[in-house]
Structure 1
Amino acid sequence: MDTNVLVTGPAGPVGTAVTDHLAGDDSPYEFTLLDVEELDDPPAGAETVVADVREYDEIRPHFEGQDAVVHLARVPGMGGSGARDVGWSEPFADNLEGISNVYEAAVDAGLDSVLWASSNHAVGMVEVRNEPDCYHDGEVLAGHDEPHRPDSLYGVTKAYGEDLGRLAAEAHGVCFYGLRIGAVRDPEYDHPYGDAERGVDRGDWERGSDEYDEQVARMKALWQSRRDLAHLVDRCLRDESVEWDHFYGLSGNSRRWLDDADHARETIGYEPEDDGEEWDGPPE
């Protein structure tokens, strides 16, 4: 029997990675894609709906008949994922409301599981306090048991989503998976040189500059290929053992300052195929 999966915010790099690799005629999943606007090119076979996660009454009907929700939707406007901003703002409040609405709808509709697109920024102060050395020495600084150390309001929303997910799991019996995603990019930049090459394309720096090399070093630790991200989602959707847990969304990178590889493999069978260290240059 197919698993019915609702995906919020499916148009971004993470959402398209999920559907590019997991949707299709032979897929065990029936996807419903919920976004605030009509999708330009939805995958074949997926149902699409328009709704705003900030409006509970809009999204609640679309949870009926679903087995799981992959919650990716984010209200923009907090100054970027790495901004060290402090203070209340409308986008910040909107994101907290959207997260709460999705979790409430999942509990009310009796979904089996919630997959939350958390982020490395939930523990991002580890990076802030140790950059740039952590990009180069390969020392693991944050393991699976690292407490929340958000580096921005963006990181605070991700930590909030993890905590609310734990409440949903322990109080309401919804299986919760927090995916602390590292760096997933669009297909054009789906490699550990992606951020550096994107900077070249924008005119921010030149290939071979110190800035370019620093971006490469950072990405070799944080990169998660699109196929590895989809594999991680697939393993969570198939899992029947977890009550509440979180996993770092990374490829099998040899260089890393975040690490729960053994935990992810032993708990949900996550076996990434890619390693940023195997790349010695951008694709030609």
Structure 2
Amino acid sequence: MAGYADDLSLAHLLADTADSISMSRFRALDLRVESKPDLTPVSDADTAVEQALRGTLARARPRDGVIGEEFGHTAAAAGPGSRRWVIDPIDGTKNFVRGVPIWGTLIALLEGDTPVAGLVSAPALGRRWWAARGHGAYAGKHQHAATRIKVSGVHRFADASFSYASLTGWADTGRLEPVVNMALSAWRSRAYGDFYGYMLLAEGALEVMIEPELSLWDVAALIPIVSEAGGTITDLTGRPPTDKTAAIATNGLLHETVLTTLTTPQR
């Protein structure tokens, strides 16, 4: 995978470190959990993972910037095409602290503002997903046990499996009614939540995953994986998701239907 092979290898190395730390703390009786100012939880595993990954990146990619959920932004070296790594040490912290195995580490590489590579590692599920721009998306237990993945060919919403996150969040946007209507009209609806719905979409196991608002570290790694699997992921305006925007991911064939449903004014 010329161009990003070294970066993806580094991402896998980072994920190995993250998996070792996070699994050692998963369901630990002495796990420490605090509330951040926005009242979301943060565990000692979140901070330990991000600190470890930042340390590795400082040695391996000293000119690259780093953006992390827990410790903010470290600037990249000046110049065109500045590169930044984006880290969500544990996506799904609420699952993590309750002992639910659907959580993972998200690692992305940005060139400028564009996510060009992404990796999601879910060690409690024994699975990873990764992609780099122009070279396809893959899933497996590790880098050398991989299968190329692609989205489904379902083209009717009535035949689609529909996933969503945060009904409360959608209610806050004033779009709860169309979300509920889609859930009722789809072939199947389930709230898998966090990164997992997007990865199931990339594998072709479902067709639509929507979320009312994501931070950059929540979404950056997902964009290359969904896109390289043949799907489409945008905000509500049809542009690429960025910080604090909605994320609308589909198999591509249903994207306009979903966007139209979510953005048409309700009576």
Structure 1-normalised TM-score?
Answer: 0.29
Structure with greater helix percent: 1
Which one has a larger percent strand, Structure 1 or Structure 2?
A: 2
